[in-house]
Amino acid sequence: MEMAASARTVEEIVKDYSARRSAVLRALIFDVDQFYGLCDPEKENLCLYGHPNESWEVTLPAEEVPPELPEPALGINFARDGMNRKDWLSLVAVHSDSWLISVAFYLAARLNRHERKSLFRMINDLPTVFEEVSERKPVKDKPSIESGSKSQGTTKRSSDGQVKSNPKTADVDYEDNGDENGETQCSCRSGNYNACEFWIGCDVCERWFHGKCVKITPAKAENIEQYKCPSCR
């Protein structure tokens, strides 16, 4: 198994992680038929490796003990014919995510606390292998006030009268916007979130409001590029 011996800075470790991740994704998505065929349950314990050159390999685990790097999940081939194909691929994806993280932090052993935190943040910005394979793409974070940018993928209004992003999820970091049971409340204090009602989120303070409370209809919301609540206006 290849090891990026010089991968010791945060940037180098992220590069190594990204290359291995790309290799695993290629096996589980683009070369999936070939990968499926190589995972013969009649063979010995097999592992899926992603290498720093973005190539992948299904092979036996390393013989040396302890191995040069953390090893992937052992015996992924044994469950192949006993599960639905999509479920099996998702299971391999989850174990691959665990392996990729373990390799990255093995290489990060000499980093200080702040560097490890930076490493995790950079890794966490990428969708997991499981999310890519199962097509459960994460919802993009709303831009912070400091960023001054607005993602086109985080529209918070829709013409059908429902928000596209549940305010209970979107406002998870805004402690003052919910009661002690975790229910998201309208910032005008006129009731908890109800999926049957139209809600609109402020792009500045990120609080949520009943459309009727701030006199915004679904049709009007569609024409608002950046909504500012009464307080932020």
Instruction: Tell me the pLDDT band of 226, cut-offs 50, 70 and 90.
Output: confident
Last residue of some domain: 86, 104, 134?
Answer: 134
pLDDT, tens digit, 9 for 90 and up, residues 22-53 = 999 999 999 999 999 999 999 999 999 999 99
d(CA 211, CA 218): 8
Same domain flag for 129 and 154: no
User: Is 70 exceeded by the pLDDT of residue 10?
Assistant: yes
Q: Are residues 155 and 129 in the same domain?
A: no
Whether 101 and 30 share a structural domain: yes
Same domain for 125 and 155, yes or no, is: no
The whole domain housing 55 covers: 10-134
Q: Are 207 and 201 in contact (CB under 8 A)?
A: yes
- Give yes or no for residue 58 having a pLDDT over 90: yes
**At residue 164, does pLDDT exceed 70?**
no
Q: Per the confidence metrics, is the pTM higher than 0.85?
A: no
Please report the pLDDT score of residue 150 as a whole number: 37
User: Is 59 inside a domain boundary?
Assistant: yes
Chosen domain end from 108, 134, 160: 134
Verify that 126 and 221 share a domain, yes or no.
no
- Looking at the fold, whether 122 and 156 belong to one and the same domain comes out as no
Same-domain pairing of 106 and 144: no
